Amino acid sequence: MTFHRAYNFCAGPATIPEVVLERVREELLNWKGRGSSFMEISHRSTDFLKLVFEPARENLKKLLNIPEDYHILFITTGTSHQFAMVPLNFLNLKPHKSADYLHTGVWSGKAINEAKRYGNINVALSTENNQFTKMCSPNELKLDSNASYLHYTPNETIHGFQFHTIPETHNVPIIADMSSEILSRPIEVSRYGMIYAGTQKNIGPSGLTIAIIHKNMAGFANALTPTLYQYQTYIDSGSLYHTPNTFGIYMAGCIFEWLLNLGGISEIAKINQRKSQKLYDAIDHSSFYRNPVQKEFRSQMNVIYYLPTVELDQLFVKEAQNNHLINLKGHKSIGGIRASIYNAMPEKGVDVLIEFMQEFERKYG
């Protein structure tokens, strides 16, 4: 049987660059001639610290141009843990102990529901009444200048909705869940109080979250916060208070090296721009496919679209799969098709998808 690696459009855990997987396979049994894999060594050993952990942190810093006054933390959790960690650690930043949240999709909604358990949460805007497809007008934005922070989700993975500018908060620190867009385009880290991202979209396998926190934000955790939910614990121990996800950190490091070899964020951003542009063009130039998101807020990472009927959506997913274009089914909450085209999706994969879409339209349109 011949082996055929498909183009995988899964929203997460998502496709990983083939060259990175080959490197992992190469190194798996006998890492750097040590006679064991990188998974079988102590997280406190010089080998792990000097050859895996520190290079990963340094390369992330280089890729995102992270200034010196930020902590870079590796936290062994899924992203959703942050929905509790953020309010527990930062609501106390100001005397009002309140925070502003933007509700622009499922993920920001989950962050809001969790944060409400810990304090006064002001939903400064919600686009729920238009099914998270459009931004509301600026005068509907109800920001509180006494808020401890503002939380938002720059890229809503399920609705394919992405901010292309940073909200203006007038000195209220901004906290962003960048899980499904980190490393896809340049960001100005200094505009944020904190950035967090789970790794399973753009940085490798699941089970690891990266947090980038401004130094002035640390040390305000609510007194009852469990040790492992306090960012300070990770800051004080260099993210090594307990055994971290060493495999996840190793993989993240491989992805960072892959990106640096490619030319860094500015290069991948150009590719991502091209990939998403040609896919949206293909959708817009057809009356068979339809994307409901306001043009200025369309996601470069998660492109959603609908065919004329639910039956055609289903047939599309099935026939695509037979053509090695896999995991195109939209999220169950909104249906349709979702093509997640993260960093690791080659431009060729998008070209093949577009050809398939045109073929499908000729057949059934």
Ligand X SMILES: *Cc1c(COP(=O)(O)O)cnc(C)c1O
Strand partners, 123: 101
- In the bound state with ligand X, the residue whose beta carbon lies nearer, of 86 and 317, is 86
By CB under 6 A, name the one of 89, 92, 104, 179 that touches ligand X.
179
Euclidean distance between CA atoms 46 and 168, whole angstroms? 44
- For residue 21, the SS3 value is helix
By CB under 6 A, name the one of 177, 210, 231, 345 that touches ligand X.
177
DSSP 151: E
Binding span for ligand X by CB under 6 A among 75-83, 232-240, 289-297, 309-317: 75-83
**CA nearest to 293, candidates 336, 327, 332:** 336
Q: Does 153 bind ligand X (CB under 6 A)?
A: yes
Q: For the CB of residue 45, give the shortest distance to ligand X in the complex, in Å.
A: 28
Q: For the CB of residue 105, give the shortest distance to ligand X in the complex, in Å.
A: 8
Euclidean distance between CA atoms 252 and 301, whole angstroms? 19
By CB under 6 A, name the one of 8, 15, 79, 202 that touches ligand X.
79
Of all residues in this chain, which one has the CB nearest to ligand X in the complex? 78
**CA nearest to 82, candidates 171, 4, 195:** 195
Binding span for ligand X by CB under 6 A among 46-54, 77-85, 92-100, 231-239: 77-85
By CB under 6 A, name the one of 107, 118, 163, 256 that touches ligand X.
107
**CA nearest to 119, candidates 231, 13, 225:** 225
Q: Does 74 bind ligand X (CB under 6 A)?
A: no
**The one catalytic residue among 31, 94, 177, 275:** 177
Bridge-based pairing state of the strands 194-198 and 209-214: antiparallel
Binding span for ligand X by CB under 6 A among 177-185, 272-280, 308-316, 324-332: 177-185
Q: Does 100 bind ligand X (CB under 6 A)?
A: no
Bridge-based pairing state of the strands 120-126 and 98-103: parallel
**The one catalytic residue among 100, 107, 313, 329:** 107
Instruction: Count how many Cα atoms sit within 13 Å of the Cα of residue 34 in the half-sphere of its side chain.
Output: 17
Q: For the CB of residue 295, give the shortest distance to ligand X in the complex, in Å.
A: 21
Binding span for ligand X by CB under 6 A among 14-22, 137-145, 175-183, 250-258: 175-183
Q: Does 300 bind ligand X (CB under 6 A)?
A: no
- If binding means CB under 6 A, how many residues of this protein chain bind ligand X? 13
State the CB neighbour count (10 A cutoff) for residue 73.
20
Q: Does 248 bind ligand X (CB under 6 A)?
A: no
State the CB neighbour count (10 A cutoff) for residue 23.
15
Instruction: Count how many Cα atoms sit within 13 Å of the Cα of residue 76 in the half-sphere of its side chain.
Output: 14
Q: For the CB of residue 107, give the shortest distance to ligand X in the complex, in Å.
A: 4
State the CB neighbour count (10 A cutoff) for residue 125.
21
Q: Is 110 a catalytic residue?
A: no
Q: Is 258 a catalytic residue?
A: no
Euclidean distance between CA atoms 97 and 87, whole angstroms? 9
Residue type for position 162: Q
Q: Is 100 a catalytic residue?
A: no
Catalytically annotated residues: 107, 177, 201
Residues near ligand X, by CB under 6 A:
12, 78-80, 107, 153, 157, 177, 179-180, 198, 201, 206
